[in-house]
Amino acid sequence: MKEHLSLYVFIGVIFVTGVVFGAILVNALTLDQTQELRRHLGSFFQVVDQGTSWDQAHSFWQSFSMNVKWVLLIWLLGLSVVGLPLIFILDFLKGVLVGFTVGYLAGQYAWKGVLFSLVSVAPQNLIHIPVIVICSVAGMSFSLYLIKNRFIQKRGNLYAPFMNYLILSFSMVLVTGAVSLYEAFLSPELMRWVTPMLVTAGG
């Protein structure tokens, strides 16, 4: 952590910039786009409020697949020098998604939207975002190692750094599994607690 503190700060700034951009992007929506999104969200809130049963196994695998794709893509990009800028783009896009989601809910439903964000968006992202940041820093570190020790100095053993990178990334995959379990089994229950207020607000 201390060794790569500057990289963590750099990735953190990129992510926060994405969050701010995503929140600002909400204001760029046209009236038709805003109404369409509100209509889809209203339908979703009604489904949740009616207590429709969830296919929890399907939800888990869908969430796990999505979360793992972020980790694997960053891992693959970290293996190549040319993939280094794309890691920055992925971190920025993740920030945009979070910022847009929370910004839209807060803008359309005020404090009720913020409350819904706290139970449906915030908990898993409190873990998933650090996972993305850690994977990004590891990918950057390995990519910079390649540049320094293979292309500039043309020396150094890749085996140990590669294995460390592989083990860390695999550990993050396991963490994303825990995040997906929350999204599939706990998050729907919390959403059922909040959605009655949103259905009323939507109506």
What is the pTM (predicted TM-score) of this model?
0.87
What confidence tens digit (pLDDT) does each residue in 6-19 have? Answer: 999 999 999 999 99
Which residue, chain included where needed, has tokens 């404090």? 111
What confidence tens digit (pLDDT) does each residue in 127-158 have? Answer: 999 999 999 999 999 998 888 876 666 666 78
By the 10 Å C-beta count (0-12 exposed, 13-18 middle, 19+ buried), 111 is classed as exposed
Asked whether the beta carbons of 184 and 63 are under 8 A apart, the reply is yes
What confidence tens digit (pLDDT) does each residue in 31-61 have? Answer: 898 889 888 888 888 877 776 666 788 889 9
User: Between helices 84-120 and 122-146, what is the axis angle to 10°?
Assistant: 170
Query: Encoding tokens for residue 129?
Result: 């975002």
Nearest 10 degrees: Cα torsion 53, 58, 61, 65? -100
